[in-house]
Structure 1
Amino acid sequence: YSGKTYLPVFLSESLSDVYYRNTPRTRREVIRASRVSGIDNASISQLLGDMIQQVNIYDNYITLFQKNFVSPLAGTALFSYRYYLVDSAYIDGHWCYKMAFKPRRKQEFTFYGDIWIHDSTYAVKQFEMHIAGDANINFINDLVLFQEFELTEGQHWMLAKDKLLVDFNITQRDSARNIGFFGSKTSSYRDFVINQPREKAFYNTPTTIMVDQAAGVKDDAFWADARHEALTRREDMVYQMVDTLRSLPVFKTWVDIVQMVTTGYYVHGNMEWGPYMSTYSFNQLEGHRFRLSGRTSNHFSTKLMLEGYTAYGLSDQQIKYSGGFTYMIDKNPRRVLSGSVRYDVEQLGQSQNAFREDFLLASLFRRNPADKLSMVHQYKGYYEHEWFTGLSNTFSFTQRSLWSSGRVPFSIHCENGDCLKHTDVIRTSEISINTRFAMHEKVVMGEFERVSLGGKYPVLEINYTYGIPGLFSGDFEYHRLQLSLRHWFNIFSLGWSKYSIEAGKIWGKVPYPLLKIHPGNETYVYDETAFNLMNYYEFISDQYVSFYYTHHFVGALFNKIPVFRKLKWREVAQVKGVIGNVTKENLAFSALPAGTYTTWKPYVEAGLGIENIFRVFRVDAVWRLSYYDHTNINKFGVLVSMQFDF
């Protein structure tokens, strides 16, 4: 491809029946056969289907790698493209005109190429286009789109062939020794059946992509007959080549290195050792901390995963540990049973997106000492049940014992309010029901984990928790309800935005560690889901509303400035806030530590940043806009982070 030498490492084929209903809009795909070089995995087969990277030339914007590219047929395309009439000819018996197009300006998300238009219906007969060579996009040298349409039943122009070729680069694009890989996908469509609707029950399935049980056992004779187009000689040799490559020690070594860097685990036989960045860390409570951890690999089982670790701190001289299992009852729809036990330190009021307490970078880049940790002994079990793609429930039971530390003592007021009684441990037993709804969400599934690719609609989560007094020494009775809504979306060609809104309320008298401790950040590493200039334990609530909004301009402004255009830096802006309060009953129930407050007025912070520095780094300048009177705070901060983004 493009005059570059390459080694084939992966080839896959699939044969599917695709069904589509316009009202209500529903799509279903049944994979009848699949063939994957060197990999036998039903989850991989689902990725081979028709759903991945669909391009509609008639859309105003074509989304590629989370970027909105202006379509040459957009309503406002004249502002982005120049057009040239260059040819006319019969194609498959249809008289068509050929138009070439190219971008009007540099470094915008546009294409160049040519398109054939049918003379009487003005429909697209075929096109081929490349992304603009100077587009502000990472890790891609070139991307080629080709589509061909055919007239069906004399009135419907249907997509007959769809080709996608991407030239990915790992080193810089202009490097003398460019290292990268090609990704290529070719889809063909035939045997169209139009306006013969199926019954409603046909579409009422848990998943939109179904894989026949016999899909992976088709022989060569079947494929030779079923393929729409015969494989080229080079493609036909890939299956043998891939098996040979996978047996070479050098190739296996590179695969192991890439996997270790990207996942944090080193795979050896039935075990995955890691995460290696938690092998050593340090904090005020434990001093120097050493950890040995691992989990079983897919070689051990693709249904059952065992994991655990043991750790030791030189200062507190205590052994910490964790162990658990995950059992995959079904992968599609997802049905998971899991259980774990953990005895270790924990930073209460830390966001789910933050580094783990024992992550080495969290120890190195701190703006305050890690002296607010608490010891936690926890038993947890949960069952996740996905009803259909996008809707799932998780039922969990958690028993926790939480010990106080020097900076965060537990002091509960006596019933008459005249005294304080100190307690070393708080015990809770609770059950939770979580509901997650993500309409038309696309996911990439592994054997145990999966990654959301997002969707057109917001993701809604509702979580209800009940604290059961007396069960397994549970001390308190309470109800907790949390609702969250989050989504990301493109804004024309001006970049993309992400937002999150969360609301919650707690009923019942509980000590402050069981209230909502709003997520702070005491490191110099930017945390998108935390308040980066808020200290740990600084704000608590038993009813609250919080939000954050971030917009990535993807160079919409910097691309107009020559220096920044060459650097390919990108702008980002964000704002976050929370407001809430604590009822008089909970304020009177326990004594708050020094430096802990309620959010009776909004806490707000905002920031501006530059991302894509050397293609991986991001720097944010963040301003705190309220509560200046609190002690030991930062009104302004500069935070850094790493991100891999196209």
Structure 2
Amino acid sequence: MKTKRRGLIRWGLLTLTVILGLINTHAQTVVRGIITEVSGRPLQYVSVVFKGGRGVATDSTGNYILRGTNNTTTIQISYVGYKTQLKTIVPGKEQEINIVMDVDPAFVNNVTVSTNKRAPYRNKGNPAVELIRKVIENKPVNRMASYDYVEYDQYEKLQVSLSNISDKITNSKMMRKYQFLFENRDTTKLEGKSLLPVYLEETLSKKYYRKSPEKTKSIITGEKRVNFGEYIDNQGVSSYLNRLIMDIDIYDNNIPLFTYQFLSPIADLAPTFYMFYIRDTITDANGQKLVKMYFTPRNTNDLLFRGNMFITLDGNYAVQKLNMFLSKNVNLNWVRELHVDLDFEKNEDGRYHLSKSNVMADAGITKGKGGGFFGERTVSFKNFTINKPQPDSVYAGDATVKLVKSDERDEQFWETNRHDTLTRTESKVYSNIDSLEKMPSFRRTMAIATLLIAGYTSLGPVEVGPVNAFYSFNPVEGFRLRLGGRSTPKLSKRIYFETYGAYGFKDEKWKYFLSTTYSLNNKSIYTYPLNFIRASYQRDTKIPGQELQFVAEDNFLLSFKRGNNDKWLYNNVFKLEYVREFKNHFSYTLGFKNWKQEPAGAIIYSKEQNGATVNVKDLTTTELSAEFRWAPHEQFYQGKVYRIPIINKYPIITLRFTAGVKGLFNSEYNYQNVNLRLEKRAYMSQLGYSDIVLEGGYIFGRLPYPLMTIHRANQTYSYQLNSYNLMNFQEFVSDHFAGIMIDHHFNGLIFNRVPLLKKLKLREMVSAKVLYGGVREVNDPVKNPQLINYPTLSGTPTTFSLKDQPYVEGSVGVGNIFKLIRVDAVKRFTYLNNPYIANWGIRVRFKFDF
């Protein structure tokens, strides 16, 4: 009996040993690390394999992760020009092995005789191009949209750092209080760069996609970003940075970065603009055979990438890995380096989905290694699930929804749900910026910067400004002084006041403005989404037909104008308006306006009465208005006075209805005005992009010309996008009109191919502006003398209606001069016989652009 029992025990131990051996045999071995050369520079595309088995290649930062289930105890590391190395590993365990590669002397000492001539590159008969065409042909199969349903978890991390800050700055007396910031530097992320993180934001979300009917839904479960306080629009900063570095879909024809469209290396037209070379064939850790493909631009100045992609040979012809960067010659401002790394994982159906995206950009004023900015956006994807139907309720409502208190998650939530652990340097950014924002010296510095940039300075609960309007001059008022200000949320979050007073030393008249605004959502009236009621009264001068963006009309620089700048009005305007915005970027404004206008300068209101010409002292009208605006996916930075738009590919539609009511508060006319405006940026890949504006209007009723549409004119020397740059103020009026403006940017398409010009990185643009319109007989003062006459100068008419032909002007411009200046030669093609006009002119525009 004992013998039998001992036999059972031996068999049991033997069975257990075999099971443990099998478990050990199939336990996963994970080896990770970074591979560098002796100088510390990371090496990419180094081959790391289990000896005699499968392997991987390092990414652009020199990192690798090798996984396997065999009992191999050795990995092999090889790279052309360096000594091959063998490293011992422990099977079945996760371990880190960092490797420094030594240069192979035999490779260095070899002498190769070659010729500068090389065979011309051709697409025809090129196996690399044939393979790329297979990838292009299979793009619909490999995109997320090929599935009926998709869902996954997404984690985004966006970081901005100051790079290579001079020791003179960090050790200066002014920076003594901020040494805690400079101690938090990262010298490992980018070779030769010392990075000081100043901005960090993180977002966790659950993503859903449905093919039919097509709908995407994003549920934000957590969001966190640094807060610089009241002086900076933190949400606007986030929108702007995410607009610069957007999501990258390699299967799209164009990749949006830095407000431009870069042609994808697997775009439909990629073989026309790129050159492709097959470099190697490898097998990854899962046994998948891959082709390593190198691609480079035919013209290095174009907005194109160069790099390597790994393509599967399983029939799907999918991209399994991609590392690419920009050429140093690319026609792009400020950006010194740009790297894009994409990693893909295999789905349960054998196809690949994006598992991680990393974009790194280094920007600065100089091309060298001086100070600048470094930005990095990392997006990772987990729990990728395909073809799992969800109830319709999941897709209902807005495309993006934030969970309640998603921005108030504690650190335990982030430690549990982050896809990647923050580095020590990254983790200190939140607390460092929070401490910085509370420092009085930092607040004073930001106040001074706000004064210089936005024109306002804070004095406790009020702000004084704008500074650039304190002094100006014009022919009517002469020397003009102005002082104004407004309240801030420090005074009240519900009620806001704004006012200014101005005095003209030539006309010796006071001008003033006062408004009171009541916030209905207990938020600042400058914070999106707006919801407020405002009442205001203004007595001031105005040029009829002048419409400005982002600057005050009495800005000092606008005092300089061409031609006869003698058409002015004194306006007394009372307004009452209700403004409401919604999170889907639909908004409406309901308004009441009582407007009394008095002619000034060369304008004289006169009409025929009882056979005699009499002057009209003033004109009064009362209007009721409604404006509806839809701007899907709109992004902007909220400044102190204006919203600065971050233009994207989506249209902006504005519909406005205005009704004049005779007899209401001394109003003299009945009329109805309908106006529709459409704005759109159209991207055309390598041909650049066009900013297109379509606008039309129609006025019903009988009214004098000052109440008609006075078309936007420009008599300054600046180039204005939304005005007619060779039209005089109040030159044309209409009661019905339609117009189109097109401003096309070629992004250096032509200049990049001119040997001498391409080094200057100039950019060419053309524009055309066409305006049709007219005045119906019932509103024509020539046929109805009882209406106010068109103004004249020395007996010569200066205001006209558009007749049988449109007003047309066009321009040819050169941009990116010194990276800031655009100069246009503008030509007027019609109505050349009108008096006091310019047939052509040179106009200048300043714009900070990438």
Aligned residue type for 1:356: A
Aligned to 2:593: 398
Contact 2:815 2:823 in 1 (8 A): yes
Aligned to 1:357: 553
Give the match's secondary structure for 1:493.
Answer: helix
Aligned ranges for residues 292-441 of structure 1 at < 5 Å?
Answer: 292-297=483-488, 299=490, 305-329=496-520, 334-353=530-549, 356-364=552-560, 366-387=561-582, 389-414=584-609, 418-441=611-634
Give the match's secondary structure for 2:727.
Answer: coil
Aligned to 1:194: 386
Aligned to 1:603: 807
Aligned residue type for 2:542: E
Give the match's secondary structure for 2:567.
Answer: coil
Relative to 1, partners in 2 of residues 1:458 and 1:246: Cα closer, same or farther, differing over 3 Å?
closer
Give the match's secondary structure for 2:431.
Answer: helix
Aligned to 2:302: 108
Give the match's secondary structure for 1:472.
Answer: helix
Aligned residue type for 2:724: F
2:396 is aligned with 1:217: no
Aligned to 2:80: none
Aligned ranges for residues 30-109 of structure 1 at < 5 Å?
Answer: 30-39=219-228, 43=235, 47=239, 53-87=246-280, 88-91=282-285, 94-109=288-303
Contact 1:46 1:211 in 2 (8 A): no
Report how far residue 298 of structure 1 moved: 5.4
2:741 is aligned with 1:543: no
Q: What is the aligned counterpart of 1:163 among 358, 373, 386?
A: 358
Greater mean deviation of Cα atoms: 583-592 or 635-644: 583-592
Aligned ranges for residues 173-192 of structure 1 at < 5 Å?
Answer: 173-174=367-368, 178-192=370-384
Report how far residue 482 of structure 1 moved: 0.8
Report how far residue 253 of structure 1 moved: 5.7
2:684 is aligned with 1:491: yes
Give the match's secondary structure for 1:234.
Answer: helix
Q: What is the aligned counterpart of 2:431 among 228, 233, 240?
A: 240
More helix as a share of residues: 2
CA–CA distance in structure 2, aligned partners of residues 448 and 609 of structure 1: 30
Aligned residue type for 2:484: S
Aligned residue type for 2:826: V
Aligned ranges for residues 544-563 of structure 1 at < 5 Å?
Answer: 544-563=737-756
Contact 2:318 2:351 in 1 (8 A): no
Aligned to 2:823: 619
Greater mean deviation of Cα atoms: 119-128 or 435-444: 435-444
Relative to 1, partners in 2 of residues 1:246 and 1:370: Cα closer, same or farther, differing over 3 Å?
same
CA–CA distance in structure 1, aligned partners of residues 583 and 213 of structure 2: 17
Report how far residue 324 of structure 1 moved: 2.3
Aligned residue type for 2:464: W
Taking structure 1 as the reference length, the TM-score comes to 0.92
Give the match's secondary structure for 1:7.
Answer: strand
Contact 1:46 1:209 in 2 (8 A): no
Supply the RMSD in Å over aligned alpha carbons: 2.7
Give the match's secondary structure for 1:8.
Answer: strand
Q: What is the aligned counterpart of 2:772 among 575, 579, 590?
A: 579
Greater mean deviation of Cα atoms: 35-44 or 601-610: 35-44
CA–CA distance in structure 2, aligned partners of residues 470 and 545 of structure 1: 31
Deviations along 1:244-290, whole A, 9 cap, x unmatched?
Answer: 44456665565445544443333454333322211110011111111
Identity of matched residues, %: 33
2:207 is aligned with 1:18: yes
2:717 is aligned with 1:524: yes
Report how far residue 153 of structure 1 moved: 2.5
CA–CA distance in structure 2, aligned partners of residues 141 and 50 of structure 1: 19
Relative to 1, partners in 2 of residues 1:93 and 1:208: Cα closer, same or farther, differing over 3 Å?
same
Contact 1:29 1:49 in 2 (8 A): no
CA–CA distance in structure 1, aligned partners of residues 387 and 218 of structure 2: 17
CA–CA distance in structure 2, aligned partners of residues 339 and 23 of structure 1: 48
Aligned residue type for 1:312: Y
Unaligned runs of 5+ in 2: 1-189, 522-526, 793-797
Count of aligned positions: 639
Contact 1:283 1:369 in 2 (8 A): no
2:701 is aligned with 1:512: no
CA–CA distance in structure 2, aligned partners of residues 313 and 610 of structure 1: 39
Unaligned runs of 5+ in 1: none
Relative to 1, partners in 2 of residues 1:132 and 1:352: Cα closer, same or farther, differing over 3 Å?
same
Relative to 1, partners in 2 of residues 1:199 and 1:150: Cα closer, same or farther, differing over 3 Å?
same
Greater mean deviation of Cα atoms: 524-533 or 438-447: 438-447
Greater mean deviation of Cα atoms: 293-302 or 506-515: 293-302
More strand as a share of residues: 1
Kindly name which structure, 1 or 2, has the bigger radius of gyration based on alpha carbons: 2
Taking structure 2 as the reference length, the TM-score comes to 0.71
Contact 2:719 2:844 in 1 (8 A): yes
Aligned to 1:592: 790
